[in-house]
Amino acid sequence: MVRIRLQRRGKRGYATYRVVVADGHAPIKGKFLVDLGHYNPHTDAFEVDAAAVQEWISKGAHPSDTVHNLLIKHNVIKGEKRMLWHPKPVKAEATPAA
Protein backbone atom coordinates (compact mmCIF):
# COMPACT_ATOMS: atom_id res chain seq x y z
CA MET A 1 0.00 0.00 0.00
CA VAL A 2 1.23 3.49 -0.82
CA ARG A 3 1.18 5.92 2.12
CA ILE A 4 1.48 9.68 2.48
CA ARG A 5 3.53 10.08 5.63
CA LEU A 6 6.11 12.16 7.46
CA GLN A 7 9.84 11.56 7.06
CA ARG A 8 11.94 12.90 9.93
CA ARG A 9 14.68 15.40 9.16
CA GLY A 10 16.58 17.98 11.17
CA LYS A 11 18.90 17.57 14.09
CA ARG A 12 18.57 15.99 17.50
CA GLY A 13 16.10 17.93 19.61
CA TYR A 14 14.81 19.96 16.63
CA ALA A 15 12.96 17.69 14.25
CA THR A 16 11.46 18.85 10.99
CA TYR A 17 9.59 16.61 8.59
CA ARG A 18 9.10 16.05 4.89
CA VAL A 19 5.68 15.00 3.65
CA VAL A 20 6.42 12.12 1.26
CA VAL A 21 4.65 9.40 -0.68
CA ALA A 22 6.26 6.04 0.07
CA ASP A 23 5.55 2.34 0.07
CA GLY A 24 3.95 1.30 3.35
CA HIS A 25 6.70 -1.27 3.99
CA ALA A 26 9.63 1.08 3.24
CA PRO A 27 11.74 2.23 6.20
CA ILE A 28 10.89 5.66 7.64
CA LYS A 29 14.17 7.17 6.45
CA GLY A 30 14.25 4.99 3.33
CA LYS A 31 13.25 5.48 -0.27
CA PHE A 32 10.17 7.48 -1.20
CA LEU A 33 8.37 8.11 -4.45
CA VAL A 34 7.57 11.84 -4.28
CA ASP A 35 8.31 14.72 -1.90
CA LEU A 36 5.05 16.67 -1.47
CA GLY A 37 6.13 19.33 1.02
CA HIS A 38 7.40 19.92 4.53
CA TYR A 39 6.23 20.42 8.13
CA ASN A 40 7.97 22.19 11.00
CA PRO A 41 6.13 21.50 14.28
CA HIS A 42 8.12 24.19 16.13
CA THR A 43 6.76 27.01 13.99
CA ASP A 44 3.65 25.11 12.77
CA ALA A 45 4.77 25.78 9.18
CA PHE A 46 3.06 23.28 6.87
CA GLU A 47 3.46 23.57 3.12
CA VAL A 48 2.35 20.92 0.64
CA ASP A 49 1.45 20.79 -3.03
CA ALA A 50 -2.34 20.45 -2.63
CA ALA A 51 -2.92 19.35 -6.22
CA ALA A 52 -0.33 16.58 -5.89
CA VAL A 53 -1.85 15.43 -2.59
CA GLN A 54 -5.31 15.21 -4.19
CA GLU A 55 -3.84 13.32 -7.16
CA TRP A 56 -2.09 10.74 -4.97
CA ILE A 57 -5.20 10.25 -2.82
CA SER A 58 -7.26 9.70 -5.99
CA LYS A 59 -4.69 7.07 -7.06
CA GLY A 60 -5.26 5.21 -3.77
CA ALA A 61 -2.57 6.54 -1.44
CA HIS A 62 -3.63 6.60 2.22
CA PRO A 63 -2.36 9.41 4.46
CA SER A 64 -1.08 8.48 7.90
CA ASP A 65 -3.21 9.64 10.83
CA THR A 66 -0.92 12.59 11.58
CA VAL A 67 -0.72 13.71 7.95
CA HIS A 68 -4.49 13.28 7.60
CA ASN A 69 -5.08 15.60 10.58
CA LEU A 70 -2.57 18.15 9.25
CA LEU A 71 -4.22 18.14 5.81
CA ILE A 72 -7.62 18.77 7.40
CA LYS A 73 -6.23 21.49 9.70
CA HIS A 74 -4.73 23.36 6.73
CA ASN A 75 -7.82 22.89 4.51
CA VAL A 76 -6.19 20.65 1.91
CA ILE A 77 -8.82 17.91 2.32
CA LYS A 78 -12.23 17.77 3.98
CA GLY A 79 -13.32 15.31 6.64
CA GLU A 80 -13.14 14.46 10.31
CA LYS A 81 -9.89 14.35 12.24
CA ARG A 82 -8.72 10.95 13.44
CA MET A 83 -8.16 10.14 17.10
CA LEU A 84 -4.42 9.56 17.54
CA TRP A 85 -4.53 8.33 21.12
CA HIS A 86 -7.08 6.84 23.45
CA PRO A 87 -7.16 7.63 27.17
CA LYS A 88 -6.58 4.71 29.50
CA PRO A 89 -9.78 3.38 31.04
CA VAL A 90 -10.29 4.36 34.66
CA LYS A 91 -10.44 1.31 36.90
CA ALA A 92 -13.16 1.21 39.52
CA GLU A 93 -11.87 1.52 43.07
CA ALA A 94 -11.89 -1.74 45.00
CA THR A 95 -14.06 -1.65 48.14
CA PRO A 96 -12.28 -2.83 51.28
CA ALA A 97 -13.47 -6.20 52.59
CA ALA A 98 -15.28 -6.02 55.93
pLDDT 10s digits, 20-75: 999 988 888 889 999 999 999 999 999 999 999 999 999 999 999 999 999 999 98
CB 48 within 8 A of CB 36: yes
Listed in sequence order, the residues at least 6 apart from 21 whose beta carbon sits closer than 8 Å to its beta carbon are 2, 3, 4, 32, 33, 34, 36, 56, 61
Q: Which of 34, 33, 2, 37 is nearest to 18 (CA)?
A: 37
Query: Which amino acid, 60?
Result: G
Phi/psi at 24 (5° precision): -65, -25
How many domains, in total, are found in the chain? 1
Domain that holds residue 27: 2-73
pLDDT recorded at residue 46: 93
Residue 45 lies inside a defined structural domain of this protein: yes
Whether residue 86 has pLDDT greater than 90: no
**Measured between alpha carbons, how far is 2 from 5 in angstroms, rounded to an integer?**
9
Residue 88 lies inside a defined structural domain of this protein: no
Whether residue 92 has pLDDT greater than 80: no
CATH number (domain holding residue 42): 3.30.1320.10
Going by their DSSP bridges, the two strands 2-11 and 14-23 should be labelled as antiparallel
Give the pLDDT band (50/70/90) at residue 97.
Answer: low
Give the pLDDT band (50/70/90) at residue 90.
Answer: confident
Residue 89 lies inside a defined structural domain of this protein: no
pTM of the model: 0.80
Residue 79 lies inside a defined structural domain of this protein: no
Whether residue 95 has pLDDT greater than 90: no
Whether residue 96 has pLDDT greater than 80: no
Residue 9 lies inside a defined structural domain of this protein: yes
